[in-house]
């Protein structure tokens, strides 16, 4: 039984000693008394079941979106056993609704993508011709240990590209054969979202400004 005990901790009660195995994280503290075993784990943030998709996005992914638009690499990873809510959290429901609406069930990816497009458009309006941007996305699904390029399903030939993971000389991870496609709005990105298998979605922003305007700070919210 898992329970949120504060905004930074959860407790796990187990009838056996199963949690005391080698896989238990080092931060756990436990009560040694006989009977049900209770352990507490501490995290930066803990969100209880009533937390909305909007609240979760605002407190976890929103700051990363801002950092991304400043030029930093950012990753949001959902990890957990089957049916724990990874797809619900990352993709969510109501994918055709307004991503800025706090009351819809949209998950982190559509809200983050929409927020990136909105900010890039606003920045373009403010800076005019001195600033330009280009957004590219790639989307890969892991299915039965095969890597499937979800965006390659748009190929006119209808063939799925074979994607391979390898490392270059410097140890950078390379997704060989993965398509990066230009995207113009949230809808274009979200129509490829898979609801079933583990998937990795990546979005890249390239921006440039004219040489006379170099003193303008980078895009930010």
Ligand X SMILES: Nc1ncnc2c1ncn2[C@@H]1O[C@H](COP(=O)(O)OP(=O)(O)OP(=O)(O)O)[C@@H](O)[C@H]1O
Binding residues for ligand X, per CB under 6 A? 80, 82-88
CA distance 50 to 209: 44
Of 32-40, 68-76, 80-88, 115-123, the segment contacting Mg ion by CB under 5 A is 80-88
In the bound state, the residue with its beta carbon closest to ligand X is 85
Q: Check residue 33 and report its DSSP letter.
A: S
Q: Please pick, from the candidates 39, 53, 87, 192, the single residue that binds Mg ion as defined by CB under 5 A.
A: 87
C-beta of 199: minimal distance to Mg ion in Å?
Answer: 8
CA distance 164 to 217: 37
Site membership for Mg ion, residue 119 (CB under 5 A): no
C-beta of 40: minimal distance to ligand X in Å?
Answer: 22
55 versus 220: smaller Cβ distance to ligand X: 55
84 binds, options ligand X, Mg ion, none, Cβ within 5 to 8 A by partner type: ligand X
Radius of gyration (Cα) for the chain, nearest Å?
Answer: 21
48 versus 71: smaller Cβ distance to ligand X: 48
* Secondary structure of residue 127 in the 3-state scheme: helix
87 versus 152: smaller Cβ distance to Mg ion: 87
E strand intervals along the chain: 2-4, 9-14, 29-30, 37-42, 131-143, 146-149, 164-167, 173-176, 181-182, 199-209
């Amino acid at each position: 039984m898992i329970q949120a005990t504060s905004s930074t901790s959860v407790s796990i009660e187990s009838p056996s000693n199963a949690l005391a195995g080698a896989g238990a994280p080092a931060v756990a503290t436990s009560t040694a008394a006989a009977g049900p075993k209770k352990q507490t784990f501490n995290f930066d943030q803990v969100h209880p079941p009533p937390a909305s998709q909007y609240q979760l996005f605002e407190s976890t992914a929103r700051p990363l979106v801002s950092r991304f638009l400043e030029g930093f690499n950012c990753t949001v990873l959902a990890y957990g056993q089957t049916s724990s809510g990874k797809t619900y959290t990352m993709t969510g429901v109501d994918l055709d609704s307004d991503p800025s609406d706090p009351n819809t069930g949209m998950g982190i990816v559509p809200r983050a993508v929409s927020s990136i497009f909105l900010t890039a458009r606003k920045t373009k309006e403010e800076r005019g011709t001195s600033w330009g941007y280009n957004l590219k996305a790639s989307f890969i699904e892991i299915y039965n240990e095969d890597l499937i390029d979800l965006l390659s399903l748009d190929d006119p030939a209808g063939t799925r590209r074979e994607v391979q993971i390898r490392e270059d000389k410097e140890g950078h991870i390379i997704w060989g054969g993965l398509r990066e496609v230009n995207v113009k709005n949230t809808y274009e990105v979200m129509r490829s979202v898979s609801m079933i298998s583990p998937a990795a979605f990546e979005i890249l922003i390239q921006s440039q400004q004219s040489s006379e305007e170099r003193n303008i700070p980078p895009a930010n919210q």
